Amino acid sequence: MFDIKWIRDHPEDFDNALKERGVEPISTSVLELDEKKRKNQTELQTLQNDRNTKSKDIGRLKSQGESADDLMREVADIKNKMTSLEGEVESLGVQLKSMLASLPNILSDDVPSGKSEEDNVEIRSWGEASSLSFDAKEHYELGEALGLMDFERAAKLSGSRFVVLQGGLARLDRALTQFMLDTHTSEFGYLETQPPFLVRDHVLFGTGQLPKFSEDLYKTAEDQWLIPTAEVPLTNLHSDEIIDADNLPLRFTAYTPCFRSEAGAAGRDTKGMLRQHQFMKVELVSIVKQEDGEAEHERMTKAAETILQRLEIPYRVMLLCSGDTGFSAKKTYDIEAWLPGQGEYREISSCSYCGDFQARRMKMRYREKDQKQTIYAHTLNGSGLALGRTLIAVMENYQQEDGSILVPEVLKPYMGGLDKICAS
């Protein structure tokens, strides 16, 4: 969501910025609506003022036992005039809001132009993206051979894009979770949080999934939505509040399931557990002062990278191009882990800086000590990391020629003595 005052003052900057997003120039129609609304609003407020004073006069007259019939007639007149104006102001306001609510965030200056993921730019890489000394298998081949990853029975229960994990793989997934949460809480200062997994409309509006992307989400019969990521409840925790600046930054981490309909992804990544309707994720969310947003973005990305480094999984950090950056983000880094089985880097984390875009939508402000004015907070979110995909990365990178999987050193304390996962 945008500051209408800023658009008034910088209509061309606004159009140019959105052009990067492939949005047609819209400032003219926005400002036209805005102007019309304000004109009507001013007129309406004059009438309201008139009505208020006259009503008070009526009260005064009546309390003195005098007749107020003339004044009452006048107020009735005013009221008539108000009715249509009220409707007009209301409807113009709704139009303006819905126009602004469907526009994506303005990108940071350093986001490269581009159409698709092809145009993303590698920022740095870590580790060696090498092939193994033997013929590396993909995660689903390994998992099914181990008898610990079952897609058929998952389909029997729930349809396509689900998986059942068992035994050592389920344990490994749990170990990864523990390791991630421990690292983020104790080393990076994120507050472990268990949020609800079902949320209301306005919460999804706040982070930007609604109104545009409802087809990507699941909705319950009670009209609550299943969260597509913990970013949604975590970022909204302090919505509609004025935060004491001394309490910033706020950093939250949560381990939650994520539910995505994957509408429009038909045929993509149908094999294995790369793209599921339900997956677990450890999420990171930061709420910071406006001047701290960019530094926090780097810090958050480092926190996510730390997990892969400790797991000794090669990865690269990509700066997403304009065409690949999400709706609410100003700038996004994807972390892609090396998958020897696939012979490719695949996204395992996405860290986004949203500026005040989400904060405006959810009315989350902060105030500096001794200042009267409120400022919209800046929000960031990142995966730290997606569990399913991290499990895949561990499996493919730690696979042995016999199909067994070694447990990464850093996970051993969490594996109850198990240091290798073999066929059951």
d(Cα 300, Cα 133) in Å, to the nearest integer? Answer: 34
Q: Nearest distance from residue 58's CB to RNA, in Å?
A: 4
* x-marked contacts with RNA along 370-399 as a string, rule CB under 7 A: x-x-x-------------------------
Catalytic residue among 27, 286, 350, 352: 350
Which residues are registered as beta bridge partners of 253?
Answer: 192, 284
The catalytic residue among 144, 294, 347, 368 is 347
Question: Applying CB under 7 A, which part among 12-20, 57-65, 396-404, 409-417 lies near RNA?
Answer: 57-65
Q: Is 72 in the site for RNA (CB under 7 A)?
A: yes
DSSP 250-288: EEEEEEEEEE---TT-TTSS-STTSS-SEEEEEEEEEEE
Q: How many residues in the chain?
A: 424
Rounded least distance, CB 242 to RNA, Å: 6
Residue 219 gets which letter from DSSP?
Answer: B
Q: How far is the CB of 10 from RNA (least distance, A)?
A: 15
Give the footprint of RNA on residues 21-40 (CB under 7 A): 38
Among 213, 122, 141, which residue's Cα sits nearest to residue 396? 141
Q: Nearest-CA neighbor of 113 among 277, 294, 321?
A: 321
Nearer to RNA by Cβ, of 7 and 339: the residue is 7
Q: Which of 51, 299, 389, 396 is catalytic?
A: 389
Q: Is 222 marked active-site?
A: no
- Give the x/- contact pattern for RNA in 215-244, rule: CB under 7 A: ---------------------------x--
User: Is 275 in the active site?
Assistant: yes
Among 365, 394, 395, 396, binds RNA (CB under 7 A): 365
260 is catalytic: yes
Distance CA 412, CA 422 (A): 15
Among positions 62, 202, 271, 420, the unique one binding RNA when judged by CB under 7 A: 62
- 98 tagged catalytic: no
Active-site residue identified among 38, 275, 316, 346: 275
- The 3-state DSSP composition of the chain as helix, strand, coil percent (nearest 5) reads 45, 20, 35
Residue whose C-alpha is closest to residue 349's, from 410, 281, 417: 281
Binding mask 37-56 for RNA (x = CB under 7 A): -x--xx--xx-xx-xxxxxx
Q: For residues 374 and 17, what is the distance between their CA atoms, to the nearest angstrom?
A: 26
Q: Which pair of tokens denotes residue 70? A: 């003339």
125 belongs to the catalytic site: no
- 101: nearest Cα among 207, 239, 9, 15: 207
Binding site for RNA (CB under 7 A): 4-5, 38, 41-42, 45-46, 48-49, 51-56, 58-60, 62-63, 72, 75-76, 79, 242, 365, 370, 372, 374
Q: Which residues are catalytically annotated?
A: 260, 275, 347, 350, 389
